Amino acid sequence: MELISLKNVTKNTKIMLLKELGYDSDGEFVLDGQGKKVLDKYLEIPVSVNNMVILPGSTLILDDNELSLSKYLEEFGDVF
Amino acid sequence: MSSKDPIDSIASGVTKGVLDWSTDLVKSLAKKFRDRKLAFIQDNETIKLVREQYNSGELNFYKIYIVDKDLLFLVKLGLTLRKLEENLERRTNLRNKIFKKYELRGLHIAQFVENGILSRYTAILIDNLISIEDLKKKIANTLNDIEKYALFVQAKESDRAVIELARTKVFANSPDIFVISGISPASEIVKRCEVTITKLLTDYELERFSSGHKENLFYKRILK
């Protein structure tokens, strides 16, 4: 699987990508289709556009941290 | 190195600086994502580190003896913390996240692994092995009741408080093995308290396990 880094991508581009995937943003956080803040599935914290990862598995948007990514691997296996 | 395919360029890291992707590129990447051909990440190093722990030999060893999935996950996070030793910011961030999700007990279990205590602790248990089932049970008991078996010294604590806490925990719980652990500035506190604590714990023999800026004292109960 190809891994595309969002680290050096402009915020506008990230928001465009989110919209293409059915999400949105208030400029800081990722929002779902209903305009609610998307929470990291494993930590239950709002995911910021600047620190998001978008992973396969019903389009999972997580905060970029070792705990959430480890949990993701536990649930979905080493898909990378 | 160059590539005419913008997706190839992004994936191979050819493109540098702040990137504005075209609408067509975004649509193309989104399609590839939906086809499960790519994922969007921040930092390759984070994924690499997490994958290393997922497949590590030490974790596979613990998988034999730790059945509980939550405990095993905390062990994995402890191994990850150890790998982040040189990256203070990420280490602190992960410690905070562990504390938020698993509270102090979870953080201490991870710290038990991070400091290399669990590996030595298991080795001591194996020295007195009765059966594999007994070993599994003892490891689970220790991790589940980590506060009874270990004292994690913090840099802000006074020598007197550490000595009193160690004494109280050991006398209240009579563990077969009791560990006192300190990292960086706290390791100096552990070193200073060692003589006094060893004198107090007359039913125990001391095994010191130190490396770099870590100081771990293992007090093993003596059969009298």
Distances (CA, A) of B86 to B16, B81, B91, B108, B148: 26, 10, 8, 20, 30
Specify the number of domains making up chain B. 3
One domain, residues B120 and B52: yes
| Nearest Cα residue to B189 out of B167, B172, B213, B207 | B213
Interface of A with B in 52-71 (CB under 8 A): 52-56, 59, 64-71
Polymer length of chain A: 80
One domain, residues B113 and B193: no
Is B1 contained in some domain? no
Q: How many CB pairs under 8 A join A and B?
A: 134
Q: Do B39 and A21 touch (CB under 8 A)?
A: no
pLDDT for the residue B2 = 40
Is B192 contained in some domain? yes
pLDDT for the residue B97 = 97
Domain residues for the domain of B95 are 44-144
Please write the tens of the pLDDT for every residue from A44-71. Answer: 999 999 999 999 977 799 999 999 999 9
Please write the tens of the pLDDT for every residue from B172-219. Answer: 999 999 999 998 899 999 999 999 999 999 999 999 988 888 999 999
Last residue in a domain, options B144, B171, B204: B144
What residues contact residue B64 under an 8 Å CB cut-off, 6+ apart?
none
Burial label for B92, CB within 10 Å (0-12, 13-18, 19+), is exposed
Nearest to A66 among B7, B17, B50 (CB): B50
One domain, residues B66 and B136: yes
Beta bridge partners of B138: none
Q: Do A1 and B38 touch (CB under 8 A)?
A: yes
One domain, residues B132 and B49: yes
Does B1 score more than 70 pLDDT? Answer: no
One domain, residues B64 and B134: yes
Compute the average pLDDT of residues B122-130: 91
Rounded to a whole number of angstroms, the distance from the CA of B41 to the nearest CA of chain A is 5
The count of other CB atoms within 10 Å of the CB of residue B169 is 18
Last residue in a domain, options B93, B127, B144: B144
pLDDT above 70 coverage of chain B, percent: 92
Q: Do B30 and A17 touch (CB under 8 A)?
A: yes
| Nearest Cα residue to A9 out of B193, B69, B43, B183 | B43
CATH of the domain at B166: 3.40.50.150
One domain, residues B137 and B150: no
Is B193 contained in some domain? yes
Compute the average pLDDT of residues A35-52: 96
Nearest to B54 among A4, A65, A78 (CB): A78
pLDDT for the residue B109 = 98
Last residue in a domain, options B124, B144, B164: B144
- What are the structure tokens assigned to B202, written together? 């007359």
- What are the structure tokens assigned to B12, written together? 């191979």
A5-9, A54-58, B134-138, range with the lowest pLDDT: A54-58
Is B2 contained in some domain? no
pLDDT for the residue B216 = 96
What torsion do the CA atoms of A15, B39, B2, A7 make, to the nearest 10 degrees? 50
Average pLDDT, chain B: 91
One domain, residues B48 and B127: yes
pLDDT above 90 coverage of chain B, percent: 80
**CA distance linking residue A77 with residue A66, whole number of Å:** 15
One domain, residues B175 and B95: no
One domain, residues B131 and B164: no
Helices (H) and strands (E) in chain A, counts: 2, 5
Pick the residue from chain B with its C-alpha nearest to A49. Answer: B42
One domain, residues B48 and B106: yes
Is B184 contained in some domain? yes
One domain, residues B150 and B133: no
pLDDT for the residue B11 = 56
Does A3 score more than 80 pLDDT? Answer: yes
Does B3 score more than 60 pLDDT? Answer: no
Residue found by looking up tokens 């500035």 in the block: B185
pTM comes to 0.89
One domain, residues B71 and B134: yes
